[in-house]
């Protein structure tokens, strides 16, 4: 049997921010981080806030640019090192493989919630009708009232925006999902629905890595807990 | 956007333009891929507009090469081709959206004629077909069909800008140059135009180079950014990388200077 590469393999990752507007202040956030996530597992990062969990997720998504190490992401048959990858390679990786749910939705005036959720599906080549139907299912499962679907989420409450964001992040069924506090500002009922969707993604074989401040949510979704500190050791 | 077996639409190397002893742009190089939108940001005088002028053939660079891949798949050197060939390319494959719609529209003819003109330049002669295309494009840029015979003079600034976009896109160009496309517009009008541009660019699979000083515009429109300062590219990367994790002191200053409403 040949060994298959993990979905995500982080090797000796280092990320330092140099703040030129603050007299060149250097903030070393990640040092020597090592971590692997396999398909079908959900790894919860359990460090205290401010320790660099979100920074790690953003590095894996190709949003932050690390100074050291490698981030190997399995993309079908091949493996892509996100560190130093060309912009178009990262965009392609995000389109096909990497999903990301943050705490905050970046809303665009005039773009309806349904289109916001359908966009990643359209990018994967789904027809407009297919993408819209799947988007509607996701919004329904996350209890976004149907009368809001045709409106831009600009005017939605924080919790509604967060659920639209979760719907968008999970709609396309990406094989790898990065989750940065996906339930942060949700009530108990919405939380339960997000948990259900995350567990479903895991069961279909997705590899998940996330931060879940809420211990109940963490216990419900994760198969393993890791810390950046032990990951670095 | 697929990545296999493709060639860049535009290959720019060492592009330099001097104005006497003053540098306009210096040693700029990048590849633009089909379907990609490249944002060029920097403050006034950073060389953005000079770069756009050199790329679109309106300014003659002092040095450098600009290679364009034609529809037939061959590569042409934009700076060394004949004026007639370049004009033909500009008519068929390129569009230019100016900051001031008056620079891109013909103010003396109707809205419909503005859209139809580029089609006629390509040899379309059937009046009915031209009018139909004009009406279709007015609709796509959200201008009422019953304004087709009105003069652009009677349009608001936002409508004039949308008309300019229709005029450019009617011939299905493969590359569009935009200079501060939302520049002179009210914020409410800007949002509408941006959404429209975003949709059109995605639906038509256009490549575009958008010069702007507005970082929020690039977040919505551009896949990739070049940050220019004093004529040189000081930083480049994926749009969200450059905006969320800027590396160069100048980019950090630009990003941190934006007011958050």
Q: Is A133 part of a structural domain of the chain? A: yes
Instruction: Give chain A's domain count.
Output: 1
Structural domain span for residue A120? 108-161
Contact A25/B at CB under 8 A: no
> A64-101 burial, b for 16+ CB within 10 Å, e for fewer?
bbbeebebbbbbeeeebebbebebbbbbbbbbebbbbb
HSE of B133, CA atoms in CB hemisphere, 13 A: 22
Write down the pLDDT at residue A1. 44
Q: What is the mean pLDDT of residues A77-93?
A: 95
Å between A21 CA and nearest CA of chain B: 6
Looking at chain B, which residue has its C-alpha nearest residue A55? B245
Write down the pLDDT at residue B260. 64
Reply yes or no on whether the pLDDT at A24 is more than 70.
yes
Q: Is A120 part of a structural domain of the chain? A: yes
Q: Residue B33 and residue A20: Cβ atoms within 8 Å?
A: no
Å between A56 CA and nearest CA of chain B: 13
Q: Is A13 part of a structural domain of the chain? A: no
Q: What is the mean pLDDT of residues A133-162?
A: 95
Tens digits of pLDDT across chain B (261 residues): 444 457 999 999 999 999 999 999 999 999 999 999 999 999 888 999 999 999 988 899 999 999 999 988 889 999 888 889 888 888 889 999 999 999 999 999 999 999 999 899 888 889 999 999 999 999 999 999 999 999 999 999 999 999 999 999 998 999 999 999 888 777 778 878 888 888 888 888 899 999 998 898 899 899 999 999 999 999 999 999 999 999 999 999 999 887 665
pLDDT averaged over every residue in chain A: 93
Q: Residue B249 and residue A21: Cβ atoms within 8 Å?
A: yes
Contact A95/B at CB under 8 A: yes
Reply yes or no on whether the pLDDT at A194 is more than 80.
yes
Question: Is the ipTM value over 0.85, yes or no?
Answer: yes
Measured between beta carbons, the chain B residues lying within 8 angstroms of A95 are 1
Q: Is A23 part of a structural domain of the chain? A: no
Looking at chain B, which residue has its C-alpha nearest residue A89? B3
Measured between beta carbons, the chain A residues lying within 8 angstroms of B191 are 109-110
Query: Closest Cα to residue B160, out of B176, B136, B135, B143?
Result: B143
Measured between beta carbons, the chain B residues lying within 8 angstroms of A23 are none
Could you tell me how many CB contacts below 8 A there are between chain A and chain B? 58
Write down the pLDDT at residue B2. 45
B28-38 pLDDT, tens per residue? 999 999 999 99
Write down the pLDDT at residue A233. 44
Å between B162 CA and nearest CA of chain A: 16
């Amino acid at each position: 049997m040949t060994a298959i590469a993990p979905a995500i393999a982080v090797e000796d990752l280092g990320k330092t921010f140099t703040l030129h507007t603050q007299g060149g202040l250097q903030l070393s956030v990640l040092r020597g981080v090592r971590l692997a996530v396999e398909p079908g597992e959900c790894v919860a990062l359990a460090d205290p806030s401010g320790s660099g969990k979100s920074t790690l997720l953003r590095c894996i998504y190709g949003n932050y640019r690390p100074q050291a190490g490698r981030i190997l992401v399995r993309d079908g048959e091949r493996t892509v090192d996100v560190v130093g990858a060309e912009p178009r390679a990262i965009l392609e990786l995000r389109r096909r493989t990497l999903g990301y749910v943050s705490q905050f939705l970046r809303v665009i005036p005039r773009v309806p919630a349904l289109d916001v959720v359908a966009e990643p599906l359209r990018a994967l080549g789904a027809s407009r009708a297919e993408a819209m139907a799947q988007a509607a299912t996701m919004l329904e499962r996350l209890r976004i009232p149907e009368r809001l679907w045709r409106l831009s989420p600009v005017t939605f409450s924080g919790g509604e925006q967060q659920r639209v964001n979760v719907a968008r992040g999970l709609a396309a069924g990406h094989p790898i999902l990065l989750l940065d506090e996906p339930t942060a500002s949700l009530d108990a009922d919405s939380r339960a629905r997000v948990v259900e969707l995350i567990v479903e993604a895991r069961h279909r074989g997705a590899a998940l890595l996330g931060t879940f401040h809420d211990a109940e949510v963490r216990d419900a979704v994760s198969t393993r807990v890791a810390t950046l500190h032990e990951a670095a050791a | 956007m697929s990545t296999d077996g493709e060639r860049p639409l535009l290959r720019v190397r060492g592009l330099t333009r001097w104005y006497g002893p003053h540098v306009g742009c210096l040693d700029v190089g990048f590849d633009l891929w089909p379907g990609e939108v490249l944002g060029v940001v920097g403050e006034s005088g950073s060389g953005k507009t000079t770069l756009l002028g050199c790329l679109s053939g309106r300014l003659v660079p002092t040095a450098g090469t600009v290679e364009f891949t034609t529809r037939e798949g061959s590569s042409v050197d934009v700076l060394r081709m004949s004026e007639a060939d370049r004009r033909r390319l500009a008519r068929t494959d390129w569009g230019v959206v100016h900051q001031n719609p008056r620079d891109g529209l013909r103010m003396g003819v109707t809205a419909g004629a503005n859209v139809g003109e580029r089609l006629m330049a390509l040899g379309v002669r059937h009046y009915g077909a031209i009018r139909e295309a004009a009406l279709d494009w007015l609709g796509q840029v959200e201008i009422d069909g019953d304004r087709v015979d009105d003069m652009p003079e009677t349009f608001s600034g936002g409508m004039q800008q949308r008309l300019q976009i229709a005029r450019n896109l009617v011939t299905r160009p493969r590359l569009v140059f935009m200079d501060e496309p939302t520049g002179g517009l009210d914020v409410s009008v800007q949002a509408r135009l941006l959404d429209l541009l975003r949709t059109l660019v995605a639906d038509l699979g256009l490549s575009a180079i958008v010069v702007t000083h507005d970082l929020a515009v690039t977040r919505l429109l551009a896949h990739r950014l070049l940050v220019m300062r004093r004529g040189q590219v000081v930083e480049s990367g994926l749009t969200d990388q450059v905006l969320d994790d800027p590396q160069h002191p100048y980019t950090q200053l630009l990003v941190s200077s934006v007011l958050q409403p």
